[in-house]
A and B are shown apart, each in its own frame.
Chain A
Amino acid sequence: MDAALESPAPPATVLAIDGISKQFGGRPALEEVTLDVKAGEVHCLLGENGAGKSTLCNIVFGVHRPDAGHLRLGGQRFLPVGPAHALASGVAMVHQHFSLVGNMTALENMLLGRARGRSLALADMAKRVRHLSEEYGLEVNLERPVEDLSVGERQRVEVLRCLLDGPQLLVLDEPTAVLPPREVGALLEICRRLAARGCGLVLVTHKLAEIAEIAHRTTVLRRGRVVETVTMAGAGTDLRALVRAMVGREVKPLEIARATPQIAAVEARASADQKEDEALRLDGLVVKDGAGATRLDLSLTVRRGEIVGVAGVEGNGQSQLGAVLAGLLAPSAGKVLVGGADVTGKPPRELSRLGVGIVPEDRHAVGCHLPLSVAENLLLGDLSAYTRFGLLRRDRMAATAMARMEANDIRAAGPDAPMSSLSGGNQQKVVLARELALDPLVFLLAAQPTRGLDVGAVEAVYTEIRKACDRGAGVLLVSSELDELLAVADRVLVIYRGRIVGELPAHPQHKDAVGTLMSGQVAAVAA
């Protein structure tokens, strides 16, 4: 008789991706990607913007068909013809932009695609949901329309919906981008629990801290190709190596500061002397929404040459603040003063003329026109200099655009290249260049300026912002990237439920205190 040593059976492979390639209109998005996910494993997908992470997820979920290669789910060939097929096969996905119908309740959203037959069986579904809700500690309000819930709640609904059918593979696409720090921990805990039950998880993220915390293995994607798959050794893994794999070059300390607090190295800043004048003052600014609830109620001051950071989880009034400063929203009360002059309620054109520059949160929706050319985007706000008898002088526009592109290191095919053909980083550079070209530039609002940007672009953005500062503008930097804020700003205000709940000097040692303030706990903060 064989004295076979008892060893635990190796975990089964839930998902095997083999040589998957995908092109969109001639441009390769994925090239021969091969990786696998085992049962009980949390496999992170790391990569820059445009590396192909979302495309890969969409292929696994059946939204796109691969051009080449194949998938195996639980050992069987798997080619989902659509999300319904994927769901039926035990694959669930938490989408980055949520797949919920806004004007339906959470309960109704749960029923979508699941209810069969003649009646909706609301009570049964409610029971199932409550079960799961208790089991995983995910509290959700089932009765209100989903669009009335907070972002975090909406994601809980999305996650719960995925868990309803007990998937064997769960794909999460950048799930923590919009969560407050405390809830990030809760989400990661759920991932751990699911893994413990044998589910395979694919977690797409660009946050190294999370990867360090939870990943068993990490695959780095760059420009559609797998660079390497790394087995994580817990907190001791050298994250710098991962970043290098992501970007392909050594990164400067600023970036590591953003990635992991431990390796923080705050760049010394030349102390600015021109702090006398006030670039921006908000006096008792109040914004109420349609239902009469107060969304914003604060006062603050930004001096010229100063960078003031505003830390807070998305949805605590930052959007309203940005809209008021951009001239798109009129406050219910209070005043906005720029360079000492009252500009409350003035339209965007006026504000630009008075020296207010805005880099909006959502550059695609608010910041630029994707189908228009770079030159058109740069100059749209003030075409009068380029118009003769009502007709445009394209040659002049192109010349000015080329000059600006050169000055700001904007990489594009030419001034007439459509904005959509530029990478995210270059698009943001265009938006910045447009705002920084304002003369005078008294105040600049940069809202989430590095969201979705790769490491190189992040550096470029902050360099430009610092330049604006050195020229005498006051900068308000609104960001949910704590590490960036602490590295770049002079001081940090924390916004919670529309109010400023604390102010701290910007230093990495205050990170925990800021995080605490961000989640609404005002007590026990060392000033």
Chain B
Amino acid sequence: MNETLQAFVSSSLRLATPLVLAATGEMVSEQAGVLNLSLEGMMLSAAFMGAFGAKVTGSPMGGLAFGLGAALLLALVQAWLSVRVRANQLVVGIGFNIFALGATTFLYRQIFGGLSREQIPSFSALEVPLLHRIPFLGPAVFSQAGLVYVAAALVAVTWWLVAKTPFGLAVRAVGENPRAADQAGLAVERIRFLAVLYAGGCAGLAGVFLSVASISTFTEGMTNGAGYLAVTAVILGGWHSVGVLGACLLFGAATSLQFVLPALGVPIPTAGLVMLPYVLALVAVSGVIRRSRPPAALTLPFRRGGH
């Protein structure tokens, strides 16, 4: 029983990590008014390039660099199209996802060849000195791949960035009332650009985690909706750092339960568990919790002098 619980906690954290990474970045982007449905595509591209990079350079850090680069590149294009060109954010997002799915599948077959499950150099678990000896929870929580701790740090850094810095203030202003922000002298487009890049960087970390840290290989379409789940987590979390973190942990736990419960012999249909995060988010967004109000200018491009 002890072991199952430990496995549950450990896997929950591991499953939640890519969500935490991606959702934290996406939260910043949405607070600035840009909805990145392309999160899925960015994560997938990063996962693939991460695997590719790790294989080519022989080190997981190399994979990290490649993966991050791929995601940032996509984010750059997404930012340019959404903010500068003012194309429809939803269309562009879905388009990128389709593109990324096709491109990664194609390149995977060309480079790795078919359905190989080739193991790539990956991040091994890091044991936090002392803490990992805490009885019961210690090994589960404090013996994870380095990126898990990075995720925790990211949440803290992001919280500080959004709540306590001029940049964060500007981000929130730009997403709530871009016209007023412009009239106050803020560079609306540049801020949104940076916010999208931030989301891309975080999505890159998330994608790299999936392939290089979590299962040490790449499989086609391996994100499997994690990007959309991250967007959902931002919604359920009410566009606040703590809420988003909580939502991601909840989702991670729900996903983990899918494997743990059958092992325990509890006959809950897995479909129900997979559905749970989305049902929760739906409840949240139906206004039962008043706090869940999206930034007023979300998905709306800004043009000075226009309406």
Contact = CB atoms under 8 A, between A and B. Distances in A.
B143 to A, nearest CB: 34
Interface string B270-307: 00000000000000000000000000000000001100
Contacts of A101: 172-173, 176-177, 180-181
A112 B173 contact: yes
Contacts of A83: 182-185
A246 interface: no
Contacts of B183: 61, 63, 83, 93, 95, 99
A340 to B, nearest CB: 39
B181 A119 contact: no
A125 to B, nearest CB: 11
B158 to A, nearest CB: 15
Q: Counting chain B CB atoms within 10 Å of each CB, which of A58, A99, A117 scores highest?
A: A99
Interface stretch (A102-110, A225-233, A468-476, A509-517): A102-110
B166 interface: yes
Contacts of A98: 180
B176 A103 contact: yes
A95 B179 CA distance: 11
Chain A interface: which size bin?
Answer: 20 to 34
A101 to B, nearest CB: 5
B176 A112 contact: no
Interface string A191-221: 0000000000000000000000000000000
B165 interface: yes
B262 to A, nearest CB: 45
B169 A111 contact: yes
A111 B181 contact: no
A112 B305 contact: no
Given A88-B185, A99-B180, A112-B173, 14 more contacts: A58-B305, A82-B182, A84-B185, A84-B186, A84-B187, A99-B179, A104-B169, A104-B172, A112-B180, A112-B184, A112-B185, A117-B166, A120-B164, A120-B169
Interface of B: 164-166, 169-170, 172-173, 176-177, 179-187, 304-305
A481 B165 CA distance: 45
Contacts, number: 75
Contacts of A99: 179-180, 183-184
A120 B182 contact: no
A104 B163 CA distance: 12
Interface of A: 58, 61, 63-64, 82-84, 87-88, 93, 95, 98-104, 108-109, 111-120, 161
B187 A112 contact: no
Contacts of A118: 165-166
28 contacts: A63-B304, A82-B182, A82-B185, A83-B184, A83-B185, A84-B185, A95-B183, A98-B180, A99-B184, A100-B177, A101-B173, A101-B176, A101-B181, A102-B176, A104-B172, A108-B169, A109-B184, A111-B169, A112-B169, A112-B170, A112-B173, A112-B184, A112-B186, A113-B170, A113-B181, A119-B166, A120-B165, A120-B169
Contacts of A88: 185
A282 B305 CA distance: 43
A119 B165 contact: yes
Contacts of B166: 111, 115-120
Nearest to B165: A118
B36 to A, nearest CB: 22
B223 to A, nearest CB: 33
Contacts of A104: 169, 172-173, 176
Given A111-B169, A113-B185, A115-B166, A100 B180 contact: yes
Contacts of B184: 83, 87, 99, 109, 112-113, 161
Contacts of A61: 183
B30 to A, nearest CB: 15
A35 to B, nearest CB: 22
Contacts of A87: 184-185
